[in-house]
């Protein structure tokens, strides 16, 4: 399911979770450490959507994501006894850095459990903030179990990444910040994993806007391969799903938080899902058009716009929730995004095994104003005759129409190129 429309008529007096006073109090707390991140207009996305689009750049936040807000608010509200026992958390990266940073600022010992394959920059940053990092398993499930066991064994306080009122209140301060920067906002598009960010933003914004007699539409976006919310909303309760691989590992959560689900059910207007191809294209657009480095999970709001899945009028804000991406992963995703945008072709062409054929195909491609970036010449391709060789070409183009022209020109010259996905 790609979109789940939801209707709600709840008032601030009946909403689950933190009250507007709780969000305002959390703001006084987190303002001690967070930056007010930029709100950047995007002419490109505005033209696509047909209304003004702004990017809320939490990828430029301290620790590289919004997670510092909820983590700091949660730790600040621990008792002195709880602080003395230390804290423990589990995360693939952003929550880990938020907790480690907050613990360092408040003089609290922290232990963070992370997956074995966590991106090196996230691992190193968490250690640099002073946390004792333990690696367990290959996804977040095993670190979560290990963190819960550690809390039981040592008395350390487990800091949940999303399912706690103080975390929700801290994340909701981002919504209040958006309203300060753009009071006329009509729609806010929010990435969703477990639901900490969207439950906080949606609840804070709905309550604050209601005070001023306004309504703001909240749209949530999940990766299609990690979309627990649509199923859960259909079932009426948080539902465990089996995750499939996705480049948006930061929002790959198999079950919504209990409190988060309740708040989302009451305050979020629609849930959309996007494919990895959409996310890769969004990263590319953000790099090229906005000059912003964003991690895959942080780019899903933009992916939803690019995929044509957002229907919005007036002024729209797309939250870029994080920017912590391994450069090696970014390199792969950029290539993936180029391919998804048909700006990077991989062609296989059978050729007669005689001199000059490689030069001839290269000439056709050059005359088509495309650029060959990699060539593989082999006699061992499947289905080749003994008198044939196969040419594998990696070609940069300007987009779908240009790619079609390159293929057309090769066919006009008598060659039989086929796309290799």
Per-residue pLDDT reduced to its tens digit, 209-266: 999 999 999 999 999 999 999 999 999 999 999 999 999 988 999 999 999 999 999 9
CATH 3.40.50.1100 boundaries in the chain: 3-65+164-338, 67-158
Among 271, 219, 283, 223, which Cα is nearest to 59's?
283
- What was the pLDDT predicted at 12? 45
- Which of 20, 8, 65 is closest to 269 using CA atoms? 8
Enumerate the H helices of 50-164 as residue ranges: 67-76, 80-85, 94-106, 120-128, 141-154
CA-to-CA distance for 58 and 64, rounded, in angstroms?
A: 7
Q: What is the pLDDT of residue 391?
A: 84
Q: In the structure, how many helices (H) and strands (E) does the chain have? A: 16, 15
Tell me the CATH number for domain 3-65+164-338: 3.40.50.1100
**Domain boundaries 67-158, CATH class:** alpha beta
Strand, helix or coil for residue 18: coil
CB 305 within 8 A of CB 312: no
What string of DSSP letters covers 303-349? Answer: HHHHTT-----S-EEEEE-B----HHHHHHHHHHHHHHTT-EEEEEE
Domain 342-419, CATH 3.30.70.260 — does that match?
yes
pLDDT at 278: 94
**Beta strands at 187-191 and 316-320: parallel, antiparallel or unpaired:** parallel
State residue 93's pLDDT score: 83
Question: How many other CB atoms are found less than 10 A from the CB of residue 121?
Answer: 17
Tally of CB atoms within 10 A around 327: 10
Could you tell me how far CA 393 lies from the centroid of its own chain? Answer: 32
CA 351 to CA 280: how far, in whole Å?
Answer: 33
**CATH 3.30.70.260 domain extents, the chain:** 342-419
What is the pLDDT, as a whole number, of residue 340? 74
The burial of 313, by beta-carbon neighbours within 10 Å (0-12 exposed, 13-18 middle, 19 or more buried), is given as exposed
Q: Are 274 and 241 in contact (CB under 8 A)?
A: no
Cα 65 from Cα 21, distance rounded (Å):
24
Q: Which residue has the tokens 């072709």?
A: 345
* Segments of the chain scoring below 70 in pLDDT: 1-14, 379-387, 421
pLDDT of residue 332: 84
The token pair at 327 is 């450069």
pTM, full prediction: 0.85
Q: Which two three-digit tokens encode residue 364?
A: 């056709």
pLDDT of residue 10: 45
Residue 299's nearest CA partner among 275, 331, 332, 315 is: 275
Q: Which of 197, 173, 186 is nearest to 250 (CA)?
A: 197
DSSP letter at 350 equals: E
Name the pairing type of β-strands 371-378 and 388-396: antiparallel
Which residues, including other chains, have CB under 8 Å from residue 186's CB and lie 6 or more apart? Answer: 51, 216, 217, 312, 313, 314, 315, 316
Q: Which residues contact 101 (CB under 8 A, 6 or more apart)?
A: 33, 62, 63, 68, 71, 72, 129
The 10s digit of each residue's pLDDT in 325-371 is 988 888 888 877 777 777 878 888 888 878 888 888 989 999 999 88
Give the integer Cα–Cα distance in Å for 418 and 60. 42
Residue among 344, 351, 334 nearest 403 (CA) = 344
Distance between CA atoms of residues 378 and 303, nearest Å:
38
Which residue's structure tokens are 């964003």? Answer: 294
Cα–Cα distance between 128 and 98 in angstroms, integer? Answer: 12
How many CA atoms within 13 Å lie on the side-chain side of 23? 26
> Which of these, 315, 324, 385, lies nearest to 125 by C-alpha position?
324
């Amino acid at each position: 399911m790609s979109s789940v429309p939801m209707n709600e008529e709840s008032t601030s007096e009946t909403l689950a979770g933190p009250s507007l006073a709780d969000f305002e109090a959390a703001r006084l707390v987190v303002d001690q450490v967070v930056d007010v991140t930029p709100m950047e207009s995007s002419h490109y996305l505005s033209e696509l959507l047909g209304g003004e689009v702004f990017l809320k750049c939490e990828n430029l936040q301290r620790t590289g994501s919004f997670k510092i807000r909820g983590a700091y608010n949660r730790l600040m509200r621990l008792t002195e006894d709880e602080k003395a026992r230390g804290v423990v958390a589990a995360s693939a990266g952003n929550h880990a850095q938020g907790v480690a940073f907050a613990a360092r600022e408040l003089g609290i010992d922290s232990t963070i459990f992370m997956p074995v394959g966590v991106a090196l920059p996230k691992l190193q940053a968490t250690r640099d903030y002073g946390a004792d990092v333990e690696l367990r398993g290959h996804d977040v499930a095993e670190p979560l179990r290990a963190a819960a066991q550690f809390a039981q064994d040592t008395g350390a306080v487990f800091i949940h990444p999303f399912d706690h009122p103080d975390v929700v209140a801290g994340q909701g301060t981002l919504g209040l910040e958006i309203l300060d920067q753009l009071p006329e906002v009509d729609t806010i598009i929010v990435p969703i994993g477990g639901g900490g960010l969207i439950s906080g933003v949606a609840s804070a914004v709905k309550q604050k806007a209601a005070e001023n007699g306004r309504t703001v539409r909240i749209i949530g976006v999940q990766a299609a391969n990690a979309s627990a919310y649509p199923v859960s909303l259909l079932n009426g309760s948080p539902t465990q799903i089996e995750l499939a691989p996705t480049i948006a590992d930061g929002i790959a959560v198999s079950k919504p938080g209990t409190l988060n689900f309740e708040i989302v059910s009451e305050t979020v207007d629609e849930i959309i899902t996007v494919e990895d191809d959409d996310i890769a294209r969004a990263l590319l657009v953000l790099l090229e058009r906005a000059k912003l480095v964003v991690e895959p999970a942080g780019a899903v709001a933009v992916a939803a716009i690019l995929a044509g899945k957002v229907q919005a009028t007036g002024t729209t804000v797309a939250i870029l929730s994080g920017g912590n991406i391994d450069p090696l992963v970014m390199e792969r995703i950029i290539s993936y995004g180029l391919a998804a945008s048909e700006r990077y072709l991989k062609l296989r062409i059978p050729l007669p095994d005689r001199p000059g054929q490689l030069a001839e195909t290269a000439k056709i491609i050059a005359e088509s104003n495309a650029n060959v970036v990699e060539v593989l010449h082999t006699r061992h391709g499947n289905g080749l005759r003994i008198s044939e060789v196969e040419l594998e070409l990696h070609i940069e183009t300007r987009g779908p129409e240009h790619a079609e022209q390159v293929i057309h020109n090769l066919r006009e010259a008598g060659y039989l190129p086929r796309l290799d996905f």
